[in-house]
Structure 1
């Protein structure tokens, strides 16, 4: 039985291409585009697949772009459950790499609008699809119309199924979750989001851990993870505080895109394998290290994670 359900409310078909130089005005001749299924939860499911695990990707889809998304998932052998939306077609994003400089320009379209009936229907559908006692991952942006307290509503809706809810969100939904705690099992954010919430700089690992400890004490989440960019990730719960450092040097970083989703995929997979929180943090940080060594939107690979794992340092804070 698959023990991980990932949720993507606002998925995307990611198109990536390259052109010699980006400038306004002339037509820019590009390389043949590559299309990938995208969106937070979908990329988490893809990362789990690349690491040798299994999950089900619960994804909202609409229109012809939605049909393309499901085809791309099927081609990668990612198990999915489709939730039909009527407010428009699934969005697209376009990533254009400027070959002369290596810079990447990313253009992201809005998702379809959700009315309140769709919100309620999606919560019911997720509860039905959630594995009893398993892991549920809510990751990625919310479509227009979805209320800011959706993560809290989901947490309450799933309470009876005994799942471990992992919320990886940002912006207003993250602020809402911290103002009105729903106590999911894991809450993850990056360092910029953490500093915004804290209202102060968090320059050291101790600063980050202190802030995460405040969130745990307030009942915002049982486990709080803050990604500190190139420095790795910090995890805090009532039992302790730990930090895992990236297993690579700054010179080995090619693209930061995909690091967060790879982390969440590896961390969730470790939980279903019975690993400790420290082991899950170690595995997740190593997967993030693997992802940043790849160009564009590529995620982690199992072979690379296996190779990097001994070099990822885990310390108590």
Structure 2
């Protein structure tokens, strides 16, 4: 079994295209067509694989879209471990407007999982032998899955001696934090939700992350802040990273690329500051590509040398 496993409760087939201009009523003819396997944990697994990591993606599949998802995951060289659902796997689609460069993201709700189905996902994780060193939960929860789903995964990982890393939002993130998580990767919006109030500037974001770590609920916070850069907070260390000077093409997949590179480097034995450096570079590298392509390791390697880290 792989030493890294991702769990994606609500995966998708991501379709992306480019149109000249988005206008109502008219037929908008795409000039490109691309399909990628999607959903947070699957995207993270794609990035880890590109960095040579040993990873298995656990996810549900249903219907013809689920069968296509399996093919796309295999095409990426990612090992998949799936469980069936009665409802069809969702599709998402992404449109780049050529005239303005603006990206448009359409995220569909996905299937409803009954208790038997989501419990099957937990059973797959429980049965892993040998158990992985890292378990990564990422993405939204589909209808029917309880809010504490990731909290249950966190408990399982802790009992089996693995590190649990999480990238989700809203009540699912809050419930998992209560259960105890080794590392979370919130965005500004997700951190605001978790902190339970408005946060005006980077200093307040950092203070909120420190408070979360010192509460004992979360071991590490890797907070991505868009144009403000990123900050990594542990009990003993605070690292700030300035944003890189690039011209973004798309914002799709930046967070997943960040997390994938971070875990790939940690699993390979890198120190936390070096893993953070590569994560920042990977997040920026994802912005250089349209649609759902994620980061290219060649771009990441080039940009990693430009990342400036400052210890607080």
* TM-score (norm: length of structure 2): 0.94
Contact 1:208 1:234 in 2 (8 A): no
The answer for the alignment partner of 1:111 in structure 2 is 110
Aligned length: 311
The answer for the alignment partner of 2:170 in structure 1 is 171
Match of 2:181 among 174, 181, 184: 184
Instruction: Tell me if 1:15 matches 2:15.
Output: yes
Residue ranges of structure 2 left out of the alignment (5+ in a row): none
How far apart are the structure 2 equivalents of 1:160 and 1:254? 42
The answer for the alignment partner of 2:94 in structure 1 is 95
Residue 130 of structure 1 deviates from its aligned partner by 7.0
The answer for the alignment partner of 2:122 in structure 1 is 123
The answer for the alignment partner of 1:195 in structure 2 is 192
Matches within 5 A, 1:246-261: 246=243, 248-249=244-245, 251-261=246-256
Residue 32 of structure 1 deviates from its aligned partner by 4.5
> Which consecutive segments of 4 or more residues in structure 1 shift more than 4 A?
none
The answer for the alignment partner of 2:209 in structure 1 is 212
Residue 208 of structure 1 deviates from its aligned partner by 2.2
The answer for the alignment partner of 1:70 in structure 2 is 70
CA deviations over 1:163-204 (Å, ceiling 9, x no partner): 1110101122123334xx111111110112212333122412
CA deviations over 1:132-153 (Å, ceiling 9, x no partner): 3511110011110111111111
CA deviations over 1:247-266 (Å, ceiling 9, x no partner): x21x5222221110011101
Contact 2:115 2:145 in 1 (8 A): yes
CA deviations over 1:54-90 (Å, ceiling 9, x no partner): 311111111110000001111221111112112x110
Residue 310 of structure 1 deviates from its aligned partner by 1.3
Instruction: Tell me if 1:281 matches 2:276.
Output: yes
Residue 131 of structure 1 deviates from its aligned partner by 5.2
CA RMSD of aligned residues (A): 1.7
Residue ranges of structure 1 left out of the alignment (5+ in a row): none
Residue 18 of structure 1 deviates from its aligned partner by 2.1
How far apart are the structure 2 equivalents of 1:28 and 1:300? 28
Identify if the C-alpha distance between structure 1 residues 280 and 22 changes in structure 2 by more than 3 Å, giving closer, same or farther: same
Secondary structure class of the residue paired with 1:265: helix
How far apart are the structure 1 equivalents of 2:201 and 2:32? 42
How far apart are the structure 2 equivalents of 1:271 and 1:265? 10
Secondary structure class of the residue paired with 2:305: helix
